[in-house]
Amino acid sequence: MTVPCCICTVLLQYVFNSLSCVVKHVYVLGLVCDLCCSQRWRRAGRAKINDTFSCLFMVAPNPVTLSWMRNWPPTREGGCGGLVMRTPVEPHITECISRNQETFRCWWSPGSFHNLSSPGALRVFYLKKVLPTSEWIECPEYIYSNRECFFDVNHTSIWVPYCLQLRSQNHTYFNEDDCFTVENIVRPDPPVSSNWTLLEISPSGLSYDVMVNWEPPPSADVEMGWMRIEYEIQYRERNTTNWEALEIQPHTQQTIYGLHIGEEYEVHIRCRMQAFTKFGEFSDSIFIQVTEIPSKESTFPLTLVLLFGIVGILIIIMLIVVSQQHRLTLILLPPVPAPKIKGIDPELLKKGKLDELNFILSGGGMGGLPTYSQDYYEGEPWVEFIEIVAEDADTGEKDNQGSDTQRLLSQGISHHMNISFPDDDSGRASCYNPDLPDQDTLMLMATLLPGQPEDREASFNVVERAPAPERGERPLVQTQTGGPQTWVNTDFYAQVSNVMPSGGVVLSPGQQLRVQESTLATEEKTQKKEKKHKWSEDTEDNKQKELQFQLLVVDPEGSGYTTESNAWRISPPPSSPMPGEGYQPIHPQPVETKPAATAEDNQSPYILPDSPQSQFFAPVADYTVVQEVDSQHSLLLNPPPCQSPPPCLPEHPLKAIPAMPVGYITPELLGNLSP
Amino acid sequence: MPGNIRSVSFVVLVCLLFCSRLTSVGATPICTNAHAGCHVLSLSNLFDRVIQHSARMHGISNDLHSEFEQYFLPSRNQIGRVSRNCHTSTILTPNGKENAQKMAREELTEVILKLLVAWRDPLWHFHHSMAHYDDFNNFSSNKALEMSDMVHELRKGVEKVAEKMQVLGITSNTVNSLTSPEALLPSESAEWRLMKDYDLLYCFRRDSNKVQNYLKILKCRIVPEHGC
């Protein structure tokens, strides 16, 4: 619809977005008369401004109007349109407010009728609908500067409807909507003198509670109860936009919980009448801020001290542990005793260092072994005394230099390893003779002789089998591979059971032990055979070693030696034994072959459990002490201390140690024996 | 620990004693003739109770009125029309603080009682007519019932206050004429039936506010406190 230009007034300017012509800002303008409201304006929308419906129009692409619009109070975004009020705004009452329910004020506006803006052009009349017939009365008090009409106490009636109208000279502007009752227009003044006190700080020291106090507005008669006011607190952090509102309540104090330390808060309060809806204005803001308080610091060092104390203690403990590591490891993890020879660096016992070992063993150098006395080794049960038979130096020299064993043993013999024998039986069980090279000693010897693993195992085999078949005899120490039988014939122990008239010594084992151990020996033999077949490359050597494992079985009754038969029983049949290379008994006289000769004829002292030929000989001591050698070169032996074999038998069958004499032949004695 | 238990038990005993005293205070009926054995409430306490009662009544009436406005959205401002239709508008009431303060205590008390009497029947009927409104929930219906009960209770309370004042010699004996309210308002008994529910609520809200304020003024005049 067309609107006449002259009547149109731009009351408000809408700043449009250049793209979409959306209302962005509203400016209240003065009257502008030269804006045309012709139909060139396209209608953009309908807006309600001050309760009066108005139409929004967009500017048509008219250079004149556009330019004018651009020149008007600066648009923020280069608006594309303006506003035109479709209908003029009448003079109207803007608002009526009562502060204390005893007086009230009303403001009016001339609207678009600017000619009526001058004081006195418009007059305010009010009507109190007290009586059925009532009349309009003019405003009791004008305040033209504010366009305000003030109704004092005398003219204010509560619970009475008021209606206001504006009158110009020839026109009356009245709106039914402008009627009200005073209690419904009450907006109390904001509360005054608000302050805050700190209630408490949380244990974590991060938040605190605050109590806010204020006074009711002085204009409101609260003491008498004419106005009952309830309050609403709102707070927010300093630079945020959203206010937090707490619950409305009628008391003049309220607690705010959960404020954060170090942040500044803004608080304001407003009030309204109870059971009514209109709030008054907000009070002036008060600012709350609580920073870290010093009392917190007093607890802080305490925690710091505790922390450092604990850390320091931990460090000290660590230092102690590290410094006393060895001792602690000793206490907590006692070392496992390793095989060693006293006086010899264990490093030397490793592979390849035989020269040094020999050197030391021979007693040379700084690391010479100390005298091997019994007292020296009293506390060490693992020490076993080894007797090495004195061998001819020639044989020693003939030894294959490539064989460590030969070298060791030859040197040992040539150097007359002086290992003393224990002479007395003190401190030991009577039945236990550690002098005998039992399994441990033989193991030791085997370890001392580095060689091929097969050999070692073979020797081990031999060692294991040694105690089994015979008590008195010991296996020959085997040598390495070698063509000729260059093995050193060293028999460490021999039991002297009888002395021949010719001077030879008859050696015999304990018989009962043989009985029990023969079966075990056979079993072991089969096992060892299997093992040997596994890892043996030089089967010949193995067999030889088996053959070399000679058991000297002596029949105390003069049956003589049965080495060969025994060897056959023990070793695999295919290879022929070499009796000649068999055991060479230790005796000074050249009564050597005799035992060998009688070997075949003799029945095997290997008495199998089910053999009818088992002969239970009288228990014969394996060892006899040679007390002296008489002039005829015969050995005088003592009766063995132990008569009954069973108590002498240790539990372990392999380690059966028979009754033995206390002493045995020393090399010196041996020397004496020789002619 | 035993010390704590003992102290706690002691506190509990003390509390029970006091609480029993307090409850006995509350449970004891108000004695009109100051019989022996009756605990007499002071006038101040009576006023406080009555004022609290009236405040609550006004709150409920306000809630109902705003709910009604939401549901039925009457035209924007019917103040002019409605105020003429309130059946209690014939009762002459002081329209301001000063007017109320100037009024005689007996008159003021009478006005209060008149108002309360005038609303007893309309509210009772209103509560029954609430059943026709399907939109109203039970909460509002309960409020209407509570409102009518409150008017009844408040009237009794104010009557007691008036008696008390008479006994104390504060007021003269002119208040006794209120014992027959039906005689007081014969003409108005039919007018309220013509009122619409919205108008009724509007009128009652206004009148309850009046009662509340009048009681406050009355108390301030009879029982002098700070600020009065």
Per-residue pLDDT tens over the stretch A226-246? 899 999 999 999 888 899 999
Q: Residue A672 has what pLDDT?
A: 66
Region A586-593 average pLDDT: 43
pLDDT value of position A582: 41
Evaluate if residue A315 carries a pLDDT over 90: yes
Judging contacts by C-beta atoms under 8 Å, the chain B residues touching residue A186 are none
What pairs with residue A178 in β-bridges? none
When computed from its CA atoms, the radius of gyration of chain B, rounded to whole angstroms, is 21
Q: Which of A101, A177, A183 is closest, CB to CB, to B76? A: A177
Q: Do B79 and A226 touch (CB under 8 A)?
A: no
CA distance A191 to chain B (A): 18
Q: Best mutation site among A126, A133, A152, A158 for testing chain B: the one with the most B CBs within 10 Å?
A: A158
Sign (positive or negative) of CA dihedral A340, A344, A345, A349: negative
Task: Report the residue of chain B nearest A164, measured CA to CA.
Answer: B80
The per-residue pLDDT of chain B, averaged, comes to 76
Q: Which residues of A touch B (CB under 8 A)?
A: 101-102, 129-130, 132, 153, 156-161, 163, 176-181, 183, 221-226, 228, 274-277
The pLDDT of residue A67 is above 50: no
Give CA–CA dist A270/A599, Å, rounded. 132
Tell me whether residues B79 and A101 touch, CB distance under 8 A.
no
Chain B interface, best mutation among A224, A272, A274, by max B CB count within 10 A: A224
Close Cβ partners of A325 (under 8 Å, ≥ 6 residues apart): none
- What is the rounded CA–CA span in Å between residue A524 and residue A522? 5
Residues written for chain A: 675
- The whole-number pLDDT of residue A466 equals 43
Query: Pick from A132, A224, A275: which is nearest to B227 by CB?
Result: A224
Residues of B in contact with A224 (CB under 8 A): 216-217, 220, 227-228
Nearest to B216 among A158, A180, A226 (CB): A226
Q: Report the pLDDT value the prediction gives residue B127, as an integer from 0 to 100.
A: 83
Give contacts of A179 with chain B, Cβ < 8 Å.
77, 79-80
* CB nearest to A159's CB, from B59, B209, B227: B209
Nearest CA in chain A to B207: A159
Calculate how close chain B gets to A28, using CA atoms only, in Å: 27
pLDDT of residue A666: 62
Q: Is B226 on the interface with A (CB under 8 A)?
A: yes
Straight-line distance from the first to the last Cα atom of chain B, in angstroms, rounded to the nearest whole number? 53
pLDDT at position A148: 92
pLDDT (0 to 100) of residue A472: 41
Supply the pLDDT for residue A314. Answer: 96
How far apart CA A412 and CA A560 sit, in angstroms, is 31
Q: Give B-chain residues touching A276 at CB under 8 angstroms.
A: 62
The arithmetic mean of pLDDT across residues A457-477, rounded, is 43
Q: Does residue A215 come out as left (phi exceeding 0), alpha (psi in the -120 to 50 range) or beta? A: beta
Q: Is A235 exposed, middle or buried (0-12, 13-18, 19+ CB in 10 A)?
A: buried
A423-429: long-range contacts, CB 8 A cutoff, minimum separation 24: A423/A374, A423/A662, A423/A663, A424/A662, A425/A662, A427/A378
Closest residue in A to B226 (Cα–Cα): A223
**pLDDT surpasses 60 at A130:** yes
Q: Would the pLDDT of A252 be above 80?
A: yes
**Burial (0-12, 13-18, 19+ Cβ within 10 Å), B56:** middle
Q: What is the pLDDT of residue A299?
A: 66
In chain A, which residues have their Cβ closer than 8 Å to the Cβ of B98?
Answer: 102, 153
Half-sphere exposure of A73 (CA within 13 A, CB side): 15
Nearest in space to A78 (alpha carbons), one of A64, A94, A67: A67
A132 vs A470: CA distance, rounded Å: 149
Residue A353: partners with Cβ closer than 8 Å, 6 or more residues away: A347
pLDDT, average across residues A600-608:
43
pLDDT reading at A106 higher than 60? yes
Interface predicted TM-score (ipTM) = 0.76
> A648 phi and psi, to 5 degrees?
-85, -15
Q: What is the pTM of this model?
A: 0.49
**Whole-angstrom distance, CA of residue A491 vs CA of residue A479:** 13
Least confident of A288-292, A574-578, B102-106: A574-578
- The shortest C-alpha distance from B3 to chain A (Å) reads 28
Q: How many alpha carbons fall within 13 Å on the CB side of residue B138? A: 0
Distance CA A71, CA B147 (A): 63
In chain A, the percentage of residues whose pLDDT exceeds 70 is 37
pLDDT in tens, B168-223: 887 776 655 555 544 444 444 556 666 677 788 888 999 999 999 999 998 888 88
Q: How far is CA B59 from CA A276, A281, A451, A612, B159, in A?
A: 9, 23, 113, 128, 22
CB B195 within 8 A of CB B99: no
pLDDT in tens, A1-50: 233 333 333 444 444 433 333 343 333 333 333 333 333 334 444 444 44
Report which of residues A107 and A510 the model is more confident about: A107
Return the residue matching tokens 């230009």: A5
User: Do residues A456 and A436 touch, judged by C-beta distance below 8 A?
Assistant: no
B220 vs A130, A183, A225: nearest CB: A225
How many residue pairs from chains A and B have C-beta atoms closer than 8 A?
77
- What digits encode the pLDDT tens for the residues A353-401? 677 667 766 665 554 455 555 555 566 666 666 666 665 544 444 444 4
A655 contacts: CB under 8 Å, gap ≥ 6: A438, A439, A467
- pLDDT reported for residue A26: 38
Can you name the residues that pair with B56 across neighbouring β-strands? Answer: none
Cα(B97)–Cα(A227) distance, rounded to whole angstroms? 10
From A163, A180, A225, residue closest to B216, measured CB to CB:
A225
At residue A674, does pLDDT exceed 80?
no
Closest to A295 measured CA to CA, from A210, A206, A205:
A205
The shortest C-alpha distance from B154 to chain A (Å) reads 18
Comparing B27 with A467, the larger pLDDT belongs to B27
Selected residue of B50, B66, B99, B209 to mutate for chain A interface (largest A Cβ count, 10 A):
B209
Q: Locate the chain A residue with the closest alpha carbon to B203.
A: A159
What is the residue-averaged pLDDT of chain A? Answer: 63
Angle, to 10 degrees, between the axis of helix B105-129 and the axis of helix B197-222?
A: 150
Residue A312: the pLDDT is 95
pLDDT-above-90 percentage for chain B: 17
DSSP state of A146: T
CA dist., res. A127 & res. A140, Å (int): 12
Whether chain A has a CB inside 8 Å of the CB on B92: the answer is no
Look at residue A509 and give its three-state secondary structure.
coil
- Report percent pLDDT > 90 for chain A: 15
- B220 at A interface, C-beta within 8 A: yes
Res A216: pLDDT: 92
pLDDT at A175: 77
Nearest CA in chain B to A180: B79
Band (pLDDT 50/70/90 cuts) for residue A190 is very high
Q: Residue B4's pLDDT band (boundaries 50, 70, 90)? A: confident
CA–CA dist A133, A144 (Å, integer) = 30
**pLDDT of A478 higher than 50:** no
For residue A169, the model assigns a pLDDT of 86
Residue A639: pLDDT over 90: no
Q: In angstroms, what separates the C-alpha of A135 from chain B's closest C-alpha? A: 13
